[in-house]
Chain A
Amino acid sequence: MIGVELRKMLRSRRTWVTILLINALPTLVGVLLAVTDLGPRPGSGPAFLSAVLSDGTLFPLAAVAIVLPLFLPTAVAVVAGEAIAGEAQAGTLRYVLARPVGRTRLLVAKLVSVVVFVILAVLVVALSAYVLGSFLLGDQPVSASVSGTTLTSGQIAWRTALALGYAVLSMLGVAAIALFLSTIVESPLAAAMGALAVLIGSSLLLTLDAANSLSPFLPTRYWLSFIDLFRDPILWRNVVRGTGLQLAYVAVFLGAAWAHFTTKDITD
């Protein structure tokens, strides 16, 4: 079943168009930086962007930081929201389940397919940013660490890999929420919008001092903590918390999706 879901996702033209669209913004930013040579001042603008003019190998990180807050989660919400509700809307859900496919298995296959989508999207963004960065942007190593010390290129490479992994992980919560909504509502669009509403709400609450006590539990709280991987030494605390939080979201919402989906009448 997982194989079939992956095949469906990878063969769909929409998957690749979405990834290209996600990739469009960091590419545009990279080209603009290269052409104008006007970087943001250090400490302002998206993370790492001020450094890429001198060191292009940091651009993959900057690119991921650009798509992480909005583009990537939007795409994840749409893809995951489509998962069950889309099949129900097309009428194929009843035939898939009568084949038979266990409902639990279907849910897991859908989640795996969404995760693979996120991995693909992050890899495409990072790779094209790497190519763009090495050809168009600077090649002088700068003090890459946020703490001011210089990291070797080997250190940068594996910390970048860790950061990409963390970005993928950060999307798990959205995916689980959208998947849960997808088992409840009939329209894939409604499921995607619902998940996005949660994210927007979360981002808004993070700016509010009165909501401080909630912030460790908000799904977007630790998204940008991958910057901590570039401190010297690495500051693990928030990265670990972020990982735990995302896994907790998966456990809760996948559990809820499972509880609802396995006991519901399929009436599409």
Chain B
Amino acid sequence: MIRTENLTKRYRAVVAVDQIDLDVREGDIYGFLGANGSGKTTTVRMLLGLAFATSGDIAITGQPMPKSRSTVLPMIGSLVEGPAAYGRLSGRNNLALFDAINATGVRRSRRTRIEEALDRVGLGGVDSRPVKTYSLGMRQRLGLAGAILRTPRLLILDEPTNGLDPQGIREIRDLLLDMNQQGTTVFLSSHLLAEVEQTCSRVGVLDRGRLVLQDDLATLTAPTGRTFVRTPDVAEAQRVLSSPVTALSDDSLLVETDDPGAVNTTLVRAGVRVLELGPERHTLEDVVLAATQSGTDSMARP
């Protein structure tokens, strides 16, 4: 769906995006992670033809960007660096205006499409007050409505849950999953690990402009081959287990085996009290922190 090769963006001496090779497949919900200032938004802008790459290639649905922007962009719904709307117009009028801007949409169905999009983002009951009176959350929802207005094949969303409350975040996540079920590929740029972990099927991690990691979420958070045990009887457990054991703390340890069942049987037979037991998994946070350095907004002394 999206492929980039050696995509690079240089602002004078600063390399904002450094030779990244994105590979987003059809049907993915792709989480594009990175600290603030790591180059996420610059990449998104290049994908949408708003900024021009210094070097490298972009192909979306196999067509080169920004050369084929007039055929590619109508398939894409986007939200870049926060929503924007004409403040004096109502939400509905804003959507109507954006829908009319490019005449690929069928005019007759415009009203139905707008109402449907508003319903999906939870703004169906909004009145005709101007957008400048909207709260941040409402603006964000309106921006999303604009992005999904034409049931795009690809959604490119930059921090879509910014400004939403937990309830709203949940609703948007459900909306994205639902759209993905119906065949929309989602490219979700975010610095919120939890959001990506709960939504995405594939993850790319950007660190200071470089793509340091790109893989399926299931692979990244697959069991590590070790078994985690929590027990008050650490010493006893270490004695009865045959596999090498690392004690983590007063009440937990790691066993070098990928068979939690066997560990459990051994411990229980020996009368060791087991509070918790299971295969050890890395969280996405562990994976990301291991692959990256701190963001560019921290200016600690070296």
Q: Which residues of B contact A7 (CB under 8 A)?
A: 97, 100
- Give the complex CA separation of A7 and B97 in angstroms: 9
Q: How many residues of B contact A (CB 8 A)?
A: 27
Verify if B134 is at the interface (C-beta below 8 Å from A). no
Identity of the chain B residue whose Cβ is nearest the Cβ of A106 in the assembled complex: B101
A100 touches B51 (CB 8 A): no
CB contact between A92 and one of B45, B69, B84 (< 8 Å): that residue: B84
Q: Which residues of B contact A98 (CB under 8 A)?
A: 48-50, 73, 76, 78, 80
Verify if B146 is at the interface (C-beta below 8 Å from A). yes
Verify if A200 is at the interface (C-beta below 8 Å from B). no
Verify if B74 is at the interface (C-beta below 8 Å from A). yes
A265 touches B51 (CB 8 A): yes
- Give the complex CA separation of A174 and B48 in angstroms: 33
Verify if B188 is at the interface (C-beta below 8 Å from A). no
CB distance from B259 to the nearest CB of A (A): 52
Chain B contact residues, majority secondary structure: loop
CB distance from B7 to the nearest CB of A (A): 14
- Given the contacts A98-B50, A98-B80, A90 and B87 also touching, CB distance less than 8 Å: yes
- Given the contacts A8-B86, A91-B82, A265-B52, A100 and B102 also touching, CB distance less than 8 Å: yes
CB distance from A236 to the nearest CB of B (A): 42
B84 touches A90 (CB 8 A): yes
Q: Which residues of B contact A265 (CB under 8 A)?
A: 45, 50-52
Q: Which residues of B contact A3 (CB under 8 A)?
A: 100
- Give the complex CA separation of A7 and B80 in angstroms: 25
A11-35 vs B, Cβ < 8 Å mask (1 yes, 0 no): 0110000000000000000000000
CB contact between B146 and one of A95, A263, A266 (< 8 Å): that residue: A95
Identity of the chain B residue whose Cβ is nearest the Cβ of A102 in the assembled complex: B70
- Given the contacts A92-B85, A265-B50, A266-B51, A99 and B101 also touching, CB distance less than 8 Å: yes
Chain A stretch 39-98: residues in CB contact (< 8 A) with chain B: 90-92, 94-98
B80-110 vs A, Cβ < 8 Å mask (1 yes, 0 no): 1111111110000000011011100000000
Verify if A1 is at the interface (C-beta below 8 Å from B). yes
A266 touches B101 (CB 8 A): no
Verify if A240 is at the interface (C-beta below 8 Å from B). no
CB contact between B73 and one of A1, A99, A267 (< 8 Å): that residue: A99
Chain B stretch 1-56: residues in CB contact (< 8 A) with chain A: 45, 48-52
CB distance from A61 to the nearest CB of B (A): 36
CB contact between B74 and one of A1, A100, A102 (< 8 Å): that residue: A100
- Give the complex CA separation of A92 and B74 in angstroms: 17
Q: Which residues of B contact A91 (CB under 8 A)?
A: 81-84
Q: Which residues of A contact B80 (CB under 8 A)?
A: 94-95, 98
Q: Which residues of A contact B50 (CB under 8 A)?
A: 94, 97-98, 265-266
A95 touches B51 (CB 8 A): no
Which residue, A12, A95, A98, A266, has most C-beta atoms of chain B within 10 A? A98
Q: Which residues of A contact B87 (CB under 8 A)?
A: 90
Identity of the chain B residue whose Cβ is nearest the Cβ of A96 in the assembled complex: B101
A100 touches B73 (CB 8 A): yes
CB contact between A90 and one of B86, B101, B102, B146 (< 8 Å): that residue: B86
Which residue, B50, B52, B69, B102, has most C-beta atoms of chain A within 10 A? B50
CB distance from A252 to the nearest CB of B (A): 25
- Give the complex CA separation of A96 and B76 in angstroms: 13
Identity of the chain B residue whose Cβ is nearest the Cβ of A13 in the assembled complex: B88
CB contact between A4 and one of B73, B74, B81, B97 (< 8 Å): that residue: B97
Verify if A101 is at the interface (C-beta below 8 Å from B). yes
B76 touches A101 (CB 8 A): no
- Give the complex CA separation of A99 and B80 in angstroms: 12
- Give the complex CA separation of A13 and B86 in angstroms: 13
- Give the complex CA separation of A92 and B83 in angstroms: 8
CB contact between A97 and one of B49, B86, B100, B146 (< 8 Å): that residue: B49
A266 touches B73 (CB 8 A): no
CB contact between A94 and one of B84, B86, B101 (< 8 Å): that residue: B84
Q: Which residues of B contact A12 (CB under 8 A)?
A: 88
- Apart from A98-B80, A99-B73: 19 A-B pairs, beta carbons within 8 A: A3-B100, A4-B97, A8-B97, A90-B87, A94-B80, A94-B81, A94-B84, A96-B98, A97-B49, A98-B49, A98-B76, A99-B74, A100-B70, A100-B74, A100-B102, A265-B45, A266-B45, A266-B50, A267-B45
Residue pairs across A and B with Cβ atoms less than 8 A apart, 18 shown, are A4-B100, A8-B97, A90-B86, A90-B87, A91-B81, A94-B50, A94-B80, A94-B84, A96-B101, A99-B73, A99-B74, A99-B102, A100-B102, A265-B50, A265-B51, A266-B45, A266-B50, A267-B45
8 tightest A-B CB contacts, nearest first: A91-B84, A100-B73, A265-B51, A266-B50, A99-B102, A92-B84, A99-B101, A98-B48
